A and B are shown apart, each in its own frame.
Chain A
Amino acid sequence: MSKYETIEHTADTGVRAFGGTVEEAFCNAAAGMFSIISDPAKVQGKERFEISVEAEDRETLLVEWLNELLYLYDSRGMLMSRFEIDYMSETSLRGAAWGEPIDPARHDLRTDIKAVTYHMLKVERRPEGWVAEVIFDV
């Protein structure tokens, strides 16, 4: 099974991510988000950022996790390529992301993501594993 696939939406783009565990699905959703921004194969995990977020349920927790990463991208120009979640409950999460600052000579930037939306947001357990779905405003 692939780690993620992009979802087509007339004006926007989303990601459907898969995982054997919910943590894995969340990490793959983050990888999917950064694959929309640039080519993940060219991003090295040089710097580590600790991420800790809280939300009222698992769906909003996904939005918060991705928003945290998007904030690091937009304010500090960080592209991320590796993700890990150490602890996760229904309402909180602790983990880390590894990446490096944008280098225009090496990174071909594809699409700007403005925000992570709540539209059609989904985190669910299926017989084959966890699925996380989210739409971005691009």
Chain B
Amino acid sequence: MSDLELVQINPLLWEIPRTGDMRVPGRIFADRALIGQASEEHALQQVANVACLPGIVMASLAMPDIHWGYGFAIGGVAAFRLEDGVISPGGVGYDIACGVRLLRSNLIFEEVKESVPGLVHELSRMIPAGVGRRGQIRFGQKEMDAVFTRGAPWVIEQGYGWPEDVDVIEDGGFLPGGDPSLVSHRARERGFAQPGTLGAGNHFAEVQLVEEVFDPQVAAAYGVFKGQLCVMLHSGSRGLGHQVCTEYVKLMGAAAVRAGISLPDRQLACAPIDSPEGREYYAAMACAVNFARMNRQVMTHLIRQSFEYIFKLPAERLGLATVYDVSHNVAKFEEHEVGGETIRVCVHRKGATRSFPAGHEDVPAHYRDVGQPVIIPGDMGTASYLLKGAEGAMRESFGSTCHGAGRVMGRRAARRAIQGHELKKRLEAQGITVRAGSNRELAEEAPEAYKDIDQVVSVCHRAGLSSKVARLRPLGVVKG
């Protein structure tokens, strides 16, 4: 479908050489099968389009789970110089700070097997999920301002969680620089009834079993062991983040014209990092990032309450601690080596996960000797992964790796190919308890609509972007 030239650099890396307005080449991490899937869509053209933006350094990158997005490809990573580079709301996406949290427990699956269906039911009762569902937890305007600037630590002070949770959330639980005055009335309205809600689409809460451990030493450092019961949470900044992005894509469409930036695709609307629009977007985005972290923290609290109800023990006794919480839709200022020089850049990760290696100062103290935990949510019938950040990511991908399996089938095609109620039966025959709002949504998220997660993670492992620590198998799924 794409006319772009594609050159194979090594078995796991492909390059789109510079042509036309491209300022840098495009580079895609993939094996032969995955690059074949990406070539069938417009995703490669999107990688090339991002390479045309001002101030981009090294290359416009894509992870192995790349697929066609709007503007930026999903699975894209791009870094921009502060002096002459841009920041783009579309390069972060509408679901700002969409991400994943992993909770561990001291429960052994074999010993609590019988309680799992009840636990999944309780989670579905406690965590509002699905299209149009509202939550019970509301914050007033002043409290929302505190959420926007201090995210998870603030909501923990209000009683939603444990103080030690913040030590293992990216950036210590909040991204500094949030300016609440930039969050519009509309964004606030859309987010008002949504604290502690999962949302719809690919978001989920899953009870999982640690099925295989690849790196026992690192797994031990993360408190993870074979046979353990864990919970994974995948959600974001909800309507609030969608509204922030919507407003800034519009604003920056005009800003790009004023700055004389020609856009290959309107959705790539951007502004110079060092401009009023650029600075304002970052400060509004940070508010949405902090809203997302508050949201996953509140849901963590609801998960702990569900466990307490089912197991009749305090969550502390059940060892229900946070392993890590990381976003995969975000723009951040970081230091990276470019052309032999360490410079500060604005890294956009749109469907890509930060993957910092051992020794990096942004890795929580607990994990600094082994590297940052990287959490990769898979499809509901297969597996999810716990990885660790690796050195190769610092050299090749601005400290980034994949973010999931990546879709291969459109939602309508999935609905045509798969019956929701049959899928539910099939998953239940595999021992997976399913609590979904609708069979239709379930069918859209069927395992066959996604790429092979084992293959995606394996490419990242072999390419040195992240290393495998453990594979987690779903036992129970709560979805919209």
Binding site for B on A (CB under 8 A): 6, 8-13, 37, 56, 59-60, 63-64, 67, 71, 74-75, 77, 102, 108-112, 114-121, 135, 137-138
Assembly CA distance A64 to B239 (angstroms): 16
A110 shortest CB reach to chain B, Å: 6
* Chain B 274-317 interface 0/1 with A at a Cβ cutoff of 8 Å (1 = within): 00000000000000000000000000000000000000000000
For A111, the chain B residues whose CB sits under 8 A away are 131, 200-201, 411, 440-441, 444
Interface residues of B in 400-431 (CB under 8 A from A): 407-413
Partner of A115, one of B41, B69, B242, B409: B242
Least CB separation from B186: chain A residue: A71
Are B71 and A75 in contact, CB atoms less than 8 angstroms apart? no
Are A75 and B444 in contact, CB atoms less than 8 angstroms apart? no
Are A60 and B131 in contact, CB atoms less than 8 angstroms apart? no
Assembly CA distance A10 to B265 (angstroms): 18
Are A75 and B189 in contact, CB atoms less than 8 angstroms apart? yes
Assembly CA distance A126 to B437 (angstroms): 41
Q: Which 7 A-B pairs have the closest CB atoms?
A: A119-B70, A109-B131, A118-B266, A112-B200, A75-B189, A117-B70, A119-B267
Q: List 27 A-B contacts (CB under 8 A).
A: A6-B412, A8-B413, A10-B41, A10-B67, A11-B69, A12-B70, A37-B131, A71-B243, A75-B190, A75-B192, A77-B134, A109-B130, A110-B438, A110-B441, A112-B200, A112-B480, A114-B239, A115-B245, A115-B246, A117-B90, A118-B70, A118-B253, A119-B69, A121-B266, A137-B94, A137-B95, A138-B201
| Contact size range, B | 35 or more
- B250 at the A/B interface (Cβ < 8 Å)? yes
B437 shortest CB reach to chain A, Å: 8
Least CB separation from A79: chain B residue: B132
Partner of B239, one of A60, A75, A102, A138: A75
Are A8 and B410 in contact, CB atoms less than 8 angstroms apart? yes
Are A138 and B242 in contact, CB atoms less than 8 angstroms apart? no
A102 shortest CB reach to chain B, Å: 5
Q: A10-B409, A112-B480, A118-B269 are in contact. List 17 more A-B contacts (CB 8 A).
A: A10-B67, A10-B68, A10-B407, A10-B408, A11-B69, A13-B410, A37-B131, A59-B266, A60-B253, A71-B189, A102-B132, A111-B411, A111-B441, A112-B131, A114-B94, A117-B267, A118-B265
For B130, the chain A residues whose CB sits under 8 A away are 109
Interface residues of B in 193-232 (CB under 8 A from A): 199-201
Are A75 and B186 in contact, CB atoms less than 8 angstroms apart? yes
For B189, the chain A residues whose CB sits under 8 A away are 71, 75
Given that A10-B408, A13-B412, A117-B267 are known contacts, is A110 also in contact with B93, CB under 8 Å in the complex? no
Are B201 and A112 in contact, CB atoms less than 8 angstroms apart? yes
Partner of B411, one of A13, A59, A60: A13
For A120, the chain B residues whose CB sits under 8 A away are 70
Are A110 and B266 in contact, CB atoms less than 8 angstroms apart? no
For A137, the chain B residues whose CB sits under 8 A away are 70, 93-95, 242
Are A56 and B246 in contact, CB atoms less than 8 angstroms apart? no
For A119, the chain B residues whose CB sits under 8 A away are 69-71, 265-267
Are A67 and B246 in contact, CB atoms less than 8 angstroms apart? yes
Are A118 and B190 in contact, CB atoms less than 8 angstroms apart? no
Binding site for A on B (CB under 8 A): 41, 67-71, 74, 90, 93-95, 130-132, 134, 186, 189-190, 192, 199-201, 239, 242-243, 245-246, 249-250, 253-254, 265-267, 269, 407-413, 437-438, 440-441, 444, 480
Assembly CA distance A77 to B246 (angstroms): 18
Assembly CA distance A117 to B265 (angstroms): 11
Are B67 and A11 in contact, CB atoms less than 8 angstroms apart? yes
A78 shortest CB reach to chain B, Å: 10
Are B249 and A118 in contact, CB atoms less than 8 angstroms apart? yes
For B93, the chain A residues whose CB sits under 8 A away are 137
Assembly CA distance A71 to B320 (angstroms): 37
Given that A112-B200, A138-B201, A138-B411 are known contacts, is A77 also in contact with B254, CB under 8 Å in the complex? no
Assembly CA distance A118 to B437 (angstroms): 30
Given that A71-B186, A109-B132, A119-B267 are known contacts, is A114 also in contact with B480, CB under 8 Å in the complex? no
For B265, the chain A residues whose CB sits under 8 A away are 118-119
For A114, the chain B residues whose CB sits under 8 A away are 94-95, 239, 242
B71 shortest CB reach to chain A, Å: 6
Assembly CA distance A119 to B189 (angstroms): 26
A118 shortest CB reach to chain B, Å: 4
Partner of A60, one of B250, B408, B437, B444: B250
Are A74 and B242 in contact, CB atoms less than 8 angstroms apart? yes
A39 shortest CB reach to chain B, Å: 11
For B67, the chain A residues whose CB sits under 8 A away are 10-11
For B71, the chain A residues whose CB sits under 8 A away are 117-119
Least CB separation from B192: chain A residue: A75
Assembly CA distance A3 to B319 (angstroms): 56
Least CB separation from A116: chain B residue: B246
Given that A109-B130, A137-B94 are known contacts, is A11 also in contact with B412, CB under 8 Å in the complex? no
A72 shortest CB reach to chain B, Å: 10
Assembly CA distance A56 to B266 (angstroms): 13
Partner of B199, one of A13, A67, A112, A121: A112
For B95, the chain A residues whose CB sits under 8 A away are 114, 137
Assembly CA distance A115 to B69 (angstroms): 13
For B412, the chain A residues whose CB sits under 8 A away are 6, 8, 13
For B411, the chain A residues whose CB sits under 8 A away are 8, 13, 111, 138
B288 shortest CB reach to chain A, Å: 12
For A60, the chain B residues whose CB sits under 8 A away are 250, 253
B282 shortest CB reach to chain A, Å: 19
Assembly CA distance A116 to B242 (angstroms): 10
Least CB separation from B239: chain A residue: A74
